[in-house]
Structure 1
Amino acid sequence: MNTANRNTLWASIVAEELYRSGVRTVCISPGSRSTPLVIAFAELRDRCDDFQILVHIDERSSSFFALGVAKVQQAPVALLCTSGTAAANYYPAIIEAYYSRIPLVVLTADRPPEMRDCGSGQTIDQINIYGKHVRYFFEVGTPEIIGFRLRYLRSLISRSVSIALGKGETPAGAVHLNFPFADPMPPIPIPNDIPEDLALSSPEAMLGNPSGNAYSQIWAGTRSLDTDIIATIANQIISHPKGAIVVGVYDSPPEFVGAVRRLARATGYPLLIEATGAHRRDEIGHYDSFLRSSNFSKTHAPKIMIRFGAMPTSKSYLLWLERHIGCQQIIVGSINSDPTHGLTQALNVHPVNFCEQLANYLENYAQPVWQDKQWRLDFELAESIAEHTIEEAIDEIDELFDGKVYAELAEILPEDSYIFVASSTPIRDLDTFFHSDHAITVLANRGANGIDGTLSSALGAAWGCDRPMVLICGDLAFYHDLNGLLAAKKYQISLTVILLNNDGGGIFNLLPISKFEHTFEEFFGTAHGLNFAPLVTAYDCEHILIQDWEHFENAVIDSLFSKGTQVLEIKSDRLRNKELHFAIWNKVIENCDRNFQL
């Protein structure tokens, strides 16, 4: 404990209690008002080899970097900044953490109350600055060195970490603790600031939990459903053999895939999996393509849909649901996530527990004769048609086409690699064109579906794991977070960035607004004409402009086994990309319509 003054002791207890509560990484941005906490974290790192500090000049990049670390490690990460607008730069990442259920512990320094709202420099109203997008907020108060207040501080920190992890009454997400500090900020000794007998009069305050664990602990089990509820759902399934199971965007636990596959067998339903939901093996992965077929989507009306994770990215899936709005949706693990506003049953239950409970019931108490095998076979046929149509189309394309990038990566990437995919077109193309026999984990910031912070999140995820990481992003997402590359330089992070540069917002070319040529390019296409090569090399990263597919394959393989960050840029034409996308989709529609007559 640093007992130079009340600020240093207060901050030392915060750092120690965070560590005891499971925080092993803190991302810090420079500033004066946060000095006591910075010193405390630096001293903690000197004592604990497994405690890591990363310094980011840009608070927005820092917060998304922390998000990437927390996402890949599934562990809480702390953020620390000074007072003023520094805290506001965390907001986009906090919103993403809220919707993605990622545990962040946000520590903002502040001036003491008497120095607020009076013209004091670098001071804004930081009370509840993040609104409802944090799971918990608390104004910590100025340091006061008495036993009761120090015990309160320990209890507050440890409980806050538990809340961030989702062990309380809310899902995982960010918590915000606001720390006002009066001078002095550095560890300047102040006589009589710390009572000499504090360790004797209040040992819990100074030493914490004697066991070395967190001071206040929250234990949380996994929720299960009563047998009568499981029986009710099972009877619904038996009464409606034409159903489906879908896995949308979902950071699933390792045991989930086996459990949901077992449930699919027990129900007889086709299992539709988005690339960001789980590894697809023999499941239905091309549903976005074949649901574009009017014949298929009209003739295949689901009566029950069991969904895990967020609503799938696929627009054709959403339209299919809206066309058959009478379908009963059973949404597992999420209370309100149905933008169709259809008939829903939301189950506040652990997804793996639910799969196992329902599969057990169906296997033991129901005969599979009720299953509609033709229904499932139709989905398997549509999957096969879409898969082969897309493969044939991709094989015939020699030019640099965004969609083919994913098909090539499916052949190149080794087992247990990671893909971090940006929002907008990349995540949709990944779902359509990436189908690998290898177990590849896909990460994405799909809570709020924004492009901000993509590069920093991927760098954080790459720093936080020991497996190959590939980021796929468009030029606008890359430009939007260029500051994030400083972390790649500073911490020698190994990341392969595939930069798909079609000079603007390619997603808009695929939308109806592209037909309005008078306003399209200025407001939606937004061509920038940037040369990324010097920008990349300014951060000591390697830039490679891809010439053809052989060059791409060699560059990816070399990058995966190289140190540092390499940016592999693929230039393409937005209009040509649009033509190729629609040519492939139209061929899938034609082949499906021919096989599924009205």
Structure 2
Amino acid sequence: MNSANRNTVWASIVAEELYRSGVRTVCISPGSRSTPLVIAFAEMRDRFPDLQLLVHIDERSSSFFALGLAKVQRAPVALLCTSGTAAANYYPAIIEAYYSRIPLVVLTADRPPEMRDCGSGQTIDQINIYGKYVRYFFEVGTPEILGLRLRYLRSLVSRSVSMALGKGDDPAGAVHLNFPFPDPMPPIPVPEDIPDDLELSSPEAVFGNPSGGAYSQVITGMRSLGMDAIATIANQIISHPKGVLVVGVYDSPPEFLESVRHLARATGYPLLIEATGASRHNEIGHYDSFLRSANFCNTHVPQMVIRFGAMPTSKSYLVWLQKHINCQQIVVGSTNSDPTHGITQSLNVHPVNFCEQLAYYLENYAQPMWQDKQWRLDFELAESITEDVINKSLVTIDELFDGKVYAELAELLPAHTYIYVASSTPIRDLDTFFHSDRPITVLANRGANGIDGTLSSALGAAWGCDRPMVLICGDLAFYHDLNGLLAAKKYPISLTVILLNNDGGGIFDLLPISQFENTFEEFFGTSHALDFAPIVSAYDCEHILIRDWRDFRNSVTNSLNSQGTQVLEIKSDRKRNKELHFAIWDRVIESCDRQFMPPH
């Protein structure tokens, strides 16, 4: 412990308690007011080399880097910045962490109370600056070297990490601790600042938990339903054999895929899986395309939907549910996740427990022969028809079409690769065109669905894992977070970036607004005509302009086997992309409409 003055003692305890509570990475942005905590973390790293300190000049990039890292490692990551608007730059990532349930521990330095609201420089009101988007906020107070205050500090820090991890009453997310520090900021000795007998008078405050663990610990179990509740849900399923299991946007826990497949067999329901939810091999993954068929939707009316994770990205799935709004929905693991405002039961329960409990009950207590096998066979047939139409369509496309990128990647990427996919068009095209028979994990910032920080999130995830990482993003998402590339230059991060550059907001070309040509391009298309090559090179990353599909396959393979960050840029035409998208969907609709004609 650095005992130069009260600031250094205070900060030393914070750093130590964060480490004892499981924090192994701190993303730091430079500034003066946070000096005591920076020094404390640096000294902590000298004692514990597994503590990683990463410096990011841009706070927004830093926060999204931390978010991607926390997402992939499923562990808390700390953020540290100075006072003033530096803290405000964390806000978008904190919002994403709130909705995606990502554990972040946000440490903001501040002026002491007497220096606030009086014209003092680099000072804003930081109290509750993030509003409801943090799971917990506390104004820590100025350092006082008293046994009770130091014990309170240890307890506060360790409890905050537990809350960030979702071990309290709320799900995981960001917590915010605001630290006002008076002068001096550096570890300058201040006579009589530290009592001589502190170790003897308050050993718990100085040394923490004798076991070496967190000072205040929260221990949680996995929530499960009682047998009566399981029986009630099972009887609903038996009474409604035409149902579906749906996995939406979801950072699913271990063993989830095996357990939800077990439940699918027990219910007889088709299992619809979004690309960001779980592996879709041998399940229903093309539902966004075949649910565009009016005949299929009209002849297949769901009686029951059991969904895990957030609402799927698919608009056609949403429209299908809205069309049949009297369908009973059960949402597992979320208490506020139904934009259709249908008849919904929300279950605050561990998904693996729920699947296994319900499957066991149906297999052992339900009467045989209640399943509607034709219902599931129809979904499997629609899946097969759609897959065949899409594959045959893509074979005939030789030009650089965004949709074909994902089909090519499905063939190229080795097992256990991570894909980080941007919002807007990329995540939708991934859902439509990426179908791999190998286990591939898809990550995305789909809490708030923004394009902010996409590049930094992928870099953070790539830095924090030992598997190949591929980022797929559009040109606007890439441009929006160019500062994030500094991390690739500063730290040894291996990342393959597939930059889909159609010079503007391609998603809007697929929406009805594109019909209004007099205003569309200026306000929605937003062409920028940027040359990304010199920008990428400025950050010591490799830029490769893709010329054709052979070039693409070779470049992806080489990048996955290389160190560092490579940006593979594919230039395409937005209007041509639109034509090809709708041509494929029209073929799917025609084929499914013909197969699923309503009875006369």
- Normalized against structure 1, the TM-score is what? 1.00
Partner of 1:561: 561
Question: Secondary structure, in 3 states, of the residue corresponding to 1:128?
Answer: coil
Question: Secondary structure, in 3 states, of the residue corresponding to 2:362?
Answer: helix
* 2-structure distance, mates of 1:375, 1:213: 54
Partner of 2:302: 302
* 1-structure distance, mates of 2:561, 2:94: 33
Partner of 2:416: 416
Structure 1 residue 253: Cα displacement: 1.1
Partner of 1:329: 329
Tell me whether 1:521 sits opposite 2:521 in the alignment.
yes
Partner of 2:371: 371
Tell me whether 1:575 sits opposite 2:575 in the alignment.
yes
* 1-structure distance, mates of 2:36, 2:22: 21
Amino acid at match of 1:575: K
| Cα-to-partner distance string for 1:307-353 (whole Å, 9 max, x where unaligned) | 00000000000000000000000000000110000000000101111
* 2-structure distance, mates of 1:368, 1:41: 62
Amino acid at match of 2:518: H
Partner of 1:97: 97
Tell me whether 1:144 sits opposite 2:144 in the alignment.
yes
Question: Secondary structure, in 3 states, of the residue corresponding to 2:558?
Answer: helix
Tell me whether 1:290 sits opposite 2:290 in the alignment.
yes
Question: Secondary structure, in 3 states, of the residue corresponding to 1:370?
Answer: coil
Partner of 1:485: 485
* 2-structure distance, mates of 1:311, 1:492: 36
* 1-structure distance, mates of 2:368, 2:434: 33
Q: Sequence identity of aligned pairs in percent?
A: 84
Alignment of 1:443-522 (within 5 A): 443-522=443-522
* 2-structure distance, mates of 1:466, 1:48: 21
Question: Secondary structure, in 3 states, of the residue corresponding to 2:473?
Answer: strand
Amino acid at match of 2:488: A
* 1-structure distance, mates of 2:375, 2:76: 44
* 1-structure distance, mates of 2:3, 2:396: 71
Alignment of 1:109-120 (within 5 A): 109-120=109-120
Structure 1 residue 49: Cα displacement: 1.4
**Superposition RMSD in Å:** 0.4
* 2-structure distance, mates of 1:311, 1:280: 17
Question: Secondary structure, in 3 states, of the residue corresponding to 1:4?
Answer: coil
| Cα-to-partner distance string for 1:130-150 (whole Å, 9 max, x where unaligned) | 000000000000000010000
Distance 1:368 1:264, change over 3 A: farther
Partner of 2:234: 234
Partner of 1:197: 197
Alignment of 1:76-475 (within 5 A): 76-475=76-475
For structure 2, list consecutive stretches of 5 or more residues without a partner in the other structure.
Answer: none
- Normalized against structure 2, the TM-score is what? 0.99
Amino acid at match of 2:563: K
* 1-structure distance, mates of 2:195, 2:395: 76
Structure 1 residue 19: Cα displacement: 0.2
Question: Secondary structure, in 3 states, of the residue corresponding to 1:246?
Answer: strand
Question: Secondary structure, in 3 states, of the residue corresponding to 2:497?
Answer: strand
Amino acid at match of 1:547: R
Amino acid at match of 1:560: L
* 1-structure distance, mates of 2:135, 2:360: 35
Question: Secondary structure, in 3 states, of the residue corresponding to 2:306?
Answer: strand
* 1-structure distance, mates of 2:228, 2:431: 37
Structure 1 residue 368: Cα displacement: 3.7
Amino acid at match of 1:593: D
Structure 1 residue 492: Cα displacement: 2.0
* 1-structure distance, mates of 2:315, 2:564: 37
Q: Which moved more, 1:364-373 or 1:215-224?
A: 364-373
* 1-structure distance, mates of 2:360, 2:551: 51
* 2-structure distance, mates of 1:280, 1:53: 37
| Cα-to-partner distance string for 1:109-160 (whole Å, 9 max, x where unaligned) | 0000010000000000000000000000000000000100000000000000
Structure 1 residue 367: Cα displacement: 3.0
**Structure 1 residue ranges, 4+ long, deviating more than 4 angstroms after superposition:** none
Question: Secondary structure, in 3 states, of the residue corresponding to 2:37?
Answer: helix
- Number of aligned residue pairs: 598
Question: Secondary structure, in 3 states, of the residue corresponding to 1:500?
Answer: strand
* 2-structure distance, mates of 1:191, 1:368: 82
Question: Secondary structure, in 3 states, of the residue corresponding to 1:359?
Answer: helix
* 2-structure distance, mates of 1:344, 1:115: 51
Amino acid at match of 2:143: P
* 2-structure distance, mates of 1:325, 1:298: 13
Partner of 1:20: 20
* 2-structure distance, mates of 1:350, 1:253: 9
Amino acid at match of 2:339: P
Structure 1 residue 192: Cα displacement: 1.1
Amino acid at match of 2:553: E
Structure 1 residue 507: Cα displacement: 0.1
Structure 1 residue 25: Cα displacement: 0.2
Structure 1 residue 250: Cα displacement: 0.3
* 2-structure distance, mates of 1:253, 1:328: 25
Question: Secondary structure, in 3 states, of the residue corresponding to 1:369?
Answer: coil
Amino acid at match of 2:351: P
Tell me whether 1:584 sits opposite 2:587 in the alignment.
no
* 1-structure distance, mates of 2:440, 2:284: 17
| Cα-to-partner distance string for 1:442-480 (whole Å, 9 max, x where unaligned) | 000000000000000000000000000000000000000
